[in-house]
């Protein structure tokens, strides 16, 4: 998962960012598969706790080598809050949800992050959207409602978790991502990206330490589960953060934000190939509605430009 950024900065003219874009979408798409591999044996809270701990371990040496530890100390309060909202809570929510719903559905719901981000920026930062963006919000949330309605049963399934609760957990996670994005913009603007990335993982590790120990599984997880956990921690969190912030620098925030739309494609491919998950026509339709609404609400797609052309 992942941080939302404001739209509007100019992009670099070079197209070297395309490789990073595709690679980041592929890595983040795999995070749902690897989280699923881990959470079925570790449980949601230990999975989230170890994920951020592994990411913090991989990013902290870079922070120290670049002499950025003092910057982290000066801003630790705001970074701690961002770590809770951008990592600790969302990672636990998605780990919980993946016990009951497919990786593809989770990834489609994750694509609503820019929708919630536009709402939070509107209400908190007074970033009032244009009429076309308001229309995009309506369309996007209509797609979410249609997708959620299809999973609206609150009767537990074979996993012991009702799909409805899993969907709500995903939406809570995306709402947290959105609040974290506005908080980052307001309180952590101008900080080196590595400070925010590493610091938020350290903060999330501290927040989840006790829950991880308390809910530690009685039975030692298998090598398969550990592999999923290491991959989601190192690749999907640590390396992905570096790629994401580099993409912002090279291609601009608008193109970096668009990676959210490609992630579900990879997630559904991985889920179908490795977990034998089915992708329904209704999921694809609702996903298309959400993507169109999100593109409008974030300004990536403009009705005015379309009509003018």
Residue 7 — very low, low, confident or very high, per pLDDT cuts 50/70/90? very low
- Show the tokens assigned to 265: 């494609």
Residue-by-residue DSSP string for 82-111? HHIIIIIHHHHHHHHHTTTS-HHHHHHHHT
pLDDT band at 10 (very low <50, low <70, confident <90, very high): very low
* Dihedral sign, Cα of residue 285, residue 18, residue 91, residue 32: positive
Cα-based torsion angle of the residue sequence 45, 50, 51, 56 in order, rounded to the nearest 10 degrees = 130
Assessment of whether the complete model's pTM goes beyond 0.85: no
Q: Which residue has 């959210």 as its token pair? A: 260
The terminus-to-terminus CA distance of the chain in angstroms comes to 35
Q: Report whether pLDDT(256) > 90.
A: no
* pLDDT grade for 252, boundaries at 50, 70 and 90: low
CB 113 within 8 A of CB 20: no
* Tokens 């881990």 sit on residue: 38
Angle at 20 between CA 101 and CA 54, to 5 degrees: 55
The model's pLDDT over 94-144, given as tens digits with 9 standing for 90+, comes to: 999 999 998 988 988 888 887 787 788 788 877 777 788 788 888 888 888
* Alpha helices (H) along the chain: 17-42, 44-65, 69-74, 76-83, 89-97, 103-110, 113-124, 131-150, 163-187, 193-214, 223-233, 240-251, 253-257, 259-275, 281-297, 303-308
Q: In the predicted model, what is the mean pLDDT of residues 245-255?
A: 67
**Phi/psi of residue 157, each to 5°?**
-100, -160
**Would you say residue 298 has pLDDT above 80?**
no
Per residue in 54-99, pLDDT (tens digit) is 999 999 999 999 999 999 999 999 999 999 999 999 999 999 999 9
CA-CA distance, 249 to 61, in Å (whole number)?
Answer: 22
Q: Is the pLDDT of residue 164 over 50?
A: yes
For 261, the token pair is 């739309």
Q: Which has the higher per-residue pLDDT, 66 or 298?
A: 66
In sequence order, the 6+-apart residues with CB closer than 8 A to the CB of 121 are 6, 127, 181, 182, 185
DSSP state of 227: H
Higher pLDDT, 155 or 278: 278
List the one residue out of 114, 82, 132, 144 whose CA is nearest residue 257.
114
Q: Tell me the range of 58-67, 158-167, 246-255 where mean pLDDT is highest.
A: 58-67
Q: Is the pLDDT of residue 263 over 60?
A: yes
Q: How many CB atoms neighbour CB 276 within 10 A?
A: 7
pLDDT of residue 191: 85
- Retrieve residue 151's tokens: 């999973």
Question: In this predicted model, which residue has the larger pLDDT, 229 or 182?
Answer: 229
User: Which among 78, 20, 30 has a CA at the least distance from the CA of 248?
Assistant: 20
Q: What is the DSSP letter of 16?
A: T
What are the backbone dihedrals phi and psi of residue 153, each rounded to the nearest 5 degrees, phi first? -70, 135
Per cent of the chain over pLDDT 70 is 86
| pLDDT at residue 17, rounded to an integer | 79
Angle of CA points 301, 141, 155, to nearest 5°: 145
């Amino acid at each position: 998962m992942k941080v939302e950024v404001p739209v509007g900065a100019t992009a670099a003219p070079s197209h070297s960012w395309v490789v990073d874009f595709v690679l980041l979408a592929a890595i983040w798409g795999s995070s749902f598969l690897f989280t699923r591999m881990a959470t079925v044996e570790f449980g949601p809270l230990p999975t989230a706790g170890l994920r951020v701990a592994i990411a913090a371990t991989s990013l902290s040496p870079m922070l120290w080598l670049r002499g950025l530890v003092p910057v982290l100390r000066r801003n630790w309060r705001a970074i701690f809050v961002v770590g809770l909202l951008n990592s600790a809570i969302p990672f636990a929510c998605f780990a919980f949800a993946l016990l009951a719903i497919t990786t593809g559905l989770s990834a489609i719901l994750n694509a609503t992050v820019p929708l919630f981000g536009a709402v939070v920026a509107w209400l908190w930062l007074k970033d009032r959207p244009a009429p076309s963006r308001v229309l995009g919000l309506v369309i996007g949330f209509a797609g979410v409602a249609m997708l959620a309605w299809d999973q609206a049963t609150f009767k537990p399934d074979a996993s012991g978790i009702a799909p409805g609760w899993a969907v709500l957990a995903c939406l809570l996670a995306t709402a947290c991502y959105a609040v974290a994005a506005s908080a980052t913009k307001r309180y952590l603007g101008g900080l080196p990206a590595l400070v925010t990335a590493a610091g938020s993982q350290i903060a999330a590790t501290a927040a989840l330490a006790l829950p991880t120990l308390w809910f530690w599984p009685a039975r030692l997880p298998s090598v398969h589960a550990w592999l999923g956990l290491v991959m989601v921690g190192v690749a999907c969190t640590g390396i992905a953060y570096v790629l994401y912030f580099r993409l912002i620098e090279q291609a601009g925030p608008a193109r970096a934000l668009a990676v959210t739309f490609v992630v579900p494609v990879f997630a559904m491919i991985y889920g179908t190939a490795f977990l034998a998950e089915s992708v329904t026509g209704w999921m694809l339709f609702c996903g298309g509605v959400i993507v169109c609404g999100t593109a409008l609400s974030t300004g990536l797609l403009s009705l005015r430009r379309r009509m003018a052309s």
